[in-house]
Amino acid sequence: MRITVLGCGYLGATHAAAMADLGHEVLGMEIDPDKRAALARGEVPIYEPHLDELLARSVGSGRLTFTDSYAEVAAFGDLHFVCVGTPQQAESLAADVSQVEAAFTGLAKHLDRPTLVVGKSTVPVGTAERMAEQLATLAPAGADVLLAWNPEFLREGFAVEDTQHPDRIVIGVQDSRAEKQLRDFYASMIDAGTPVVVTDYATAELVKVASNAFLATKISFINAMAEVCEATGADVVDLADSIGYDPRIGRRFLNAGVGFGGGCLPKDIRAFVHRAGELGVEDAMTFLRHVDDVNQRQRERVVHIAKAMVGGTLAGARIAVWGAAFKPDSDDVRDSPALWVSGQLHLSGAEVTVYDPRANTTARRSFPTLAYADSAVEACHDADLVLHLTEWPEFREVTPADLEGVVARPALFDGRNVLDLDAWRSAGWTVRGLGRR
C-alpha cells in the first residue's frame, strides 16, 4: 500500500521504516529540516537499537522517502498515520496536542479523494472525536475521509521489535470500512496471530493511557514497598521475586529503584489526571497523583541517601553518576531520574561527573554544567561516592578491582537494584540499594 507517516520521531520513524520493510511504499512527513535530511540519508537522529539498519534498508530500497509538504502527503497516500508528539504543557499537567491539531488541519485541506487517516499519537480521550469533526469540515472529500485511532505501545530500546511484532493491535473506528482497511494493512501481523481489538474511539484512546497508568502504578507500588522494606530490614528484590511468581501479579515492572522517567509514563499519567478532572471524574484518578508523588519521592530519597553516604554535606563532595538516559538502550534523557538526581546534587554543591554509554551528548545539551566522562571508570576518579542510576549492562561488568586506586572512598549506591552488593561489600565497599538489605 502507499502510506504516509506524519511526524518522524522515534514512533513515526520506526513505524515508517518498519512498514517500508514490509513492502509498503512510505512517505514520511517531518517538519524539522535537520531531522528530515538525516532520515533521508538513512541516518537515525536518535539511538534506538536496530533502527539504523532498518532505516538504511528502507531508504536504500527507495520505498521510504521524506517530505515537508502536506500537499505531497495527501497526493501520495491512501493511509495516513499521525505519529506526532504530545508532550506535557509547560504550565499545566495537560498534554499539549497542538502538533496533532496542526497535522490534522494541515493534511485535511488537501484530502480530495477517499482516504483513511489513522491516529497513533497518545492523546487525551475525546481528541479522536474532535479530529473526526475537523476532517469532515475541512477535507474536500468530506465523508469519504475516514478516521481510525490505532494506539502504539512500543517501548524505547525495543521500538523495532515492538513495531514488527506488536502484542496487540487496537483499532478504534466509527465505520467498518476503516476497520477493513486497517485489517488489510496489518494482514501479515494478524495472520501471524497478533490479537486485534476493534472498538470505539474513546476506548482506543483510553487503552493507551490506561496501559501506561497501570505500568506506572506497578513501579510506584514496588517503590513504596521498598520504603517499607527499608523501615523493616526486609529486602524488596526478594519481595518482588516472591510476589511476582503469582501469575496474577507477574514479576515484570516490579523493579524498585530511582523510579520511572522518559517522554511517556510521567507525562501520560499527568495528562490522564488532568483529563479526568475535565471529565468530572478526578476522584477516580486521585491514586495516579500518588503514583506520581511516590515516583518523585524516590528521586528525592536518592539525593538524601547520597548526602548521608558522603557524610552529611554535599558541598564539595565528588560524586560519580553511572547513567543519564531514562533507561538503558536509549539516549533519551527526557524526565530522566538519573539526570534529575545529578542536577540536584550539583545544585547542592557536589561535583558531579556523569557517564552514560549513549546519552552523554543528549545529557550535556540539557545539563551543560555537569561534568561528563568517557567511561564508567573515568567518571569515578577521586569520587567520594558512585551512584548507579541507569541499568546499562556494562555497569554490571565493573568490578571493585577496576576501581581500586581510582575512587577516593569506596562507597556505592545502586539505584536500580541490579548490582551484586555482596561482591562489593566483600571487597570492602560501603554499599546501599533502595529497599535492600
> Among residues 110, 183, 180, which one has the least CA distance to residue 141?
110
Q: Which residues, numbered 384-413, are part of the site for ligand UGA (CB under 6 A)?
A: none
Among 118, 215, 363, 419, binds ligand UGA (CB under 6 A): 215
Cell numbers 476493534 correspond to: 198
- Nearest to ligand UGA of 156, 351 (CB atom): 156
- Nearest to ligand UGA of 181, 390 (CB atom): 390
Do 30 and 7 meet the contact criterion of CB atoms below 8 Å apart? yes
Residue 38: which H helix or E strand, with range?
helix 33-40
Among 4, 115, 212, 353, binds ligand UGA (CB under 6 A): 212
> Among residues 287, 262, 279, which one has the least CA distance to residue 205?
279
Q: Which residues, numbered 111-170, are part of the site for ligand UGA (CB under 6 A)?
A: 122, 153-156
Helix (H, G, I), strand (E, B) or coil at 416: coil
- Nearest to ligand UGA of 111, 276 (CB atom): 276
Cell numbers 486497517 correspond to: 182
**Closest separation between CB of residue 121 and ligand UGA, Å?**
10
Cell numbers 536518592 correspond to: 302
Question: How far apart, in Å, are the Cα atoms of 6 and each of 28, 183, 236, 258, 294?
Answer: 6, 20, 43, 34, 36
Among 57, 75, 253, 366, binds ligand UGA (CB under 6 A): 253
Question: Distance between CA 331 and CA 327 in Å, rounded?
Answer: 8
**Closest separation between CB of residue 216 and ligand UGA, Å?**
8
Among 327, 346, 388, 436, binds ligand UGA (CB under 6 A): 327
Q: What phi and psi, each to the nearest 5 degrees, are found at residue 365?
A: -60, -40
Among 70, 260, 322, 340, binds ligand UGA (CB under 6 A): 260
Do 14 and 163 meet the contact criterion of CB atoms below 8 Å apart? yes
**Closest separation between CB of residue 262 and ligand UGA, Å?**
4
The three grid cell numbers given for residue 234, joined into one nine-digit string: 526486609
- Nearest to ligand UGA of 214, 287 (CB atom): 214
Task: Give yes or no: 229 in active site.
Answer: no
Q: Which residues have a catalytic role annotated?
A: 264
Binding region for ligand UGA (CB under 6 A): 122, 153-156, 212, 215, 219, 253-255, 257, 259-262, 264-265, 268, 326-327
